[in-house]
Chains A and B, each alone.
Chain A
Amino acid sequence: MLKLENINLYYDGIHALKDVSLEVPEGKVISLIGSNGAGKTSTLRTISGLSKPKSGKITFKDQDLLKVAPEKLVNMGIVQVPEGRRVFAPMSVYENLELGAYLRKDKDGIEKDLQRVFKRFPRLDERRKQMAGTLSGGEQQMLAMGRALMSGPKVLLLDEPSMGLAPILVREIFDIISELNQLGITILLVEQNAKMALSIADYAYVLETGKIVLEGKGEDLAESDEIQKAYLGG
């Protein structure tokens, strides 16, 4: 459904993505793992149109994404939960969720999704009026995901959703990701937490200094020596 072919991205001379190719088939969970500075965030930024690659191709259902304005991608169902949550801190939880539905006009659908988000994340319901910036890290992650769900995503790009969370919350976040996938949302998951990311992935890619160095089925990669050594401390 979503396909990257030979993407090359530069930041003022730094070659951040080197011939990156990957594929995200409909209905699957695809994980992209790698250590700090590997280029995971850059990959997602490129898909979302926030960074412009020098060369390469990105297609979504055969449509050339590099020709689409970044803010229009949401309409097509490509929605990102960025690294570090990036909630709108000086705005309320409710307003953050409303902004998720910014492009939608179907009032009833929005209301229904809002109720669904509140049901899935009761903590957000209790804190509707609270400023997003005063939420805890875990709550902010839930808000960021809830906000993304309000856009009605077909593909959800998640950038390190487990970052900085306590193990129990990490579990919960991953459960939610699986749940969303079962609801039919395709997932591209970026993680440093390789173990968790591989455990729920149908297929995974490993990124190292801007290059895809390894790819395979989630369970196969989890067992491979390279991964064991580099990411799983085995």
Chain B
Amino acid sequence: MKNALLFYGVYNRKGVSMDIFIQQVINGLSLGSIYALIALGYTMVYGIIKLINFAHGEIYMIGAYIGFFAITSMGLGFIPALIIAMIGCAILGMAIEKIAYKPLRKSTRIAVLITAIGVSLFLQYTTVFFLRPEPRIFPKILTDGRFNIFGLKAYITYQQLTIFIVTILLVVLLQYIVHFTKTGKAMRAVAFDKDAATLMGINTNNIISITFAIGSALAGAAGVMVGVYYSAINPLMGIMPGLKAFVAAVLGGIGIIPGAFTGGMIMGVIEAMVSGYGNSLYRDAVAFLILIIILIFKPTGLFGKSEREKV
């Protein structure tokens, strides 16, 4: 009898911890989806012009605002708002590239990096100026509700499920574009060797532009989904997720698309675990601890081969 009770107690405690664990994984994967979508843009742009586009977090923020206005002012639903935000961000990304980065194609990397930080601040404070600094509440456009998972006390909400499915669809679409379309092949060729790509008749400027467009569209999708998930958006919301997605891209191996996706998911899950088990105050610090650890032990990231730099 005593034994049975003891057994029950252990079982129960185990059950509870399992519930919490699964719940944190679910929360982590939805947060990770957002990081993954942003990280993909970082990695694609880095892959093609070796630039850390520090304005990328702001593209995500503007995506959230475009989604917000599409829903509140135009009365659109989730999917149309998502598509409009993606198109808007694609145009914004191409414009940033054309105006800010293209003239510096032959400049030093530090000059371009400083410009990227400048663009980032410019976008933050223009948004503050025109759209006010205070947060806006994203309307609830996805029905509340949740599924129970495997009979455990863990749940996945409709929002989380939506984020997850949309992310998977976008990543599959991206992989299809990159691997099976002519443009995707040209993107890989330009990323590897611009002169050789030019000799094939590829217009490298166009391909760079398209890369910015695709990466920015993914960030725009992430922005709308974060609005739906966390319900509040503000002009400085891009800073932290931007930095974390950058860490995710480095974690997966910067320039490597599957790496960015995996890195984003890992970052999301780690962050959820830290919040769930430890202290949520530490969760931002953990992201940068991860960055430091990768840079020390495997600077090429999880998916990176040790020597891939070209001549």
A residues touching B (Cβ–Cβ < 8 Å)?
48-50, 69-75, 79-80, 82, 86-91, 95, 98-100, 102-103, 147, 151
Task: Check A99/B202 contact, CB under 8 A, given A86-B195, A91-B189, A91-B192.
Answer: yes
* Contact (Cβ within 8 A) A88 B192: yes
Number of A-B residue pairs with CB-CB distance less than 8 Å in the complex they form: 64
Chain B binding site: helix, strand, loop or mixed by DSSP? helix
Residue with the highest number of chain A CB atoms closer than 10 Å, among B185, B193, B195, B201: B201
Residue with the highest number of chain B CB atoms closer than 10 Å, among A72, A91, A99, A100: A99
Q: Which residues of B contact A82 (CB under 8 A)?
A: 195-196, 199
Q: Which residues of A contact B280 (CB under 8 A)?
A: none
Q: How close is B193's CB to chain A, nearest CB, in angstroms?
A: 6
* Contact (Cβ within 8 A) B200 A72: no
* Contact (Cβ within 8 A) A88 B193: yes
Q: How close is A197's CB to chain B, nearest CB, in angstroms?
A: 21
* Contact (Cβ within 8 A) B186 A99: yes
Q: Which residues of A contact B203 (CB under 8 A)?
A: 69, 71
Q: Which residues of A contact B188 (CB under 8 A)?
A: 88, 90-91, 95
Q: Is B182 an interface residue (CB 8 A)?
A: yes
Q: Is B198 an interface residue (CB 8 A)?
A: yes
Q: How close is A102's CB to chain B, nearest CB, in angstroms?
A: 5
Tell me the bound Cα distance from A48 to B192 in angstroms: 19
Give the top 3 A-B pairs by smallest Cβ distance, nearest first: A74-B201, A103-B201, A86-B196
**Residue ID in chain B nearest A69 by CB atoms:** B203
Task: Check A99/B195 contact, CB under 8 A, given A71-B201, A147-B200.
Answer: no
* Contact (Cβ within 8 A) A102 B196: no
B residues touching A (Cβ–Cβ < 8 Å)?
182, 185-186, 188-189, 192-193, 195-204
Given contact pairs A70-B199, A71-B203, A102-B182, a sample of 6 additional A-B residue pairs in the complex whose CB atoms are under 8 Å apart:
A80-B199, A86-B193, A86-B199, A89-B192, A102-B186, A103-B201
Q: Which residues of B contact A48 (CB under 8 A)?
A: 198-199
Q: Which residues of A contact B204 (CB under 8 A)?
A: 71
Q: Which residues of B contact A87 (CB under 8 A)?
A: 196
Q: List 10 A-B contacts (CB under 8 A).
A: A49-B198, A50-B198, A74-B199, A79-B199, A86-B199, A88-B196, A91-B192, A95-B188, A98-B182, A99-B202
Q: How close is B73's CB to chain A, nearest CB, in angstroms?
A: 42
**Residue ID in chain B nearest A76 by CB atoms:** B201
Tell me the bound Cα distance from A54 to B202 in angstroms: 25
